[in-house]
Copies of this chain bind each other. A is one copy, B any other.
């Protein structure tokens, strides 16, 4: 089972292209809780996966607080009926928000694309260039 690897803080920092400070900060913010060997942090494969989630959340544009909430959803997943209903609802709202965000991204891409085309046509039809 090579699934039970462990990582030093430098390992993960290098892999995810962040500083050790950043990883400690995420720990302060309650996003990860690596084990300790003495006082040194030891990250498990689960921590590794969790961190991958965090980094993707960052790329999507979420704050650490929002990412923390989303990770909490998973932890609450095995709770009792009512709690589960609430979790499900929050989960769906997040999905809706993400879909809205994707819509904004698509619109932005479309406009930039169109602008690119304008620029290209300008290049191929010098009549449209101003000569100064």
Chain A residues engaging chain B, CB cutoff 8 angstroms: 56-57, 59-61, 70, 73-74, 77-78, 80-81, 84-85, 87-88, 91-92, 94-95, 98-102, 104-109, 112-113, 115-116, 118-120, 122-123, 129-130, 132
B108 touches A105 (CB 8 A): no
| Residues in B neighbouring A119, C-beta threshold 8 A | 77, 84, 87-88, 91
A108 to chain B, nearest CB (A): 6
Please name 12 further chain A to chain B contacts, defined as beta carbons within 8 Å, in addition to the given A73-B112, A77-B119, A81-B123, sorted by A numbering: A56-B107, A59-B100, A60-B105, A84-B123, A85-B123, A87-B119, A88-B116, A88-B119, A91-B112, A98-B109, A99-B109, A102-B109
| Residues in B neighbouring A100, C-beta threshold 8 A | 59
Per DSSP, chain A at the interface is helix
Query: If A59-B101, A101-B60 touch, does A109 touch B122 (CB 8 Å cutoff)?
Result: no
Query: If A61-B61, A98-B108, A115-B73 touch, does A120 touch B88 (CB 8 Å cutoff)?
Result: yes
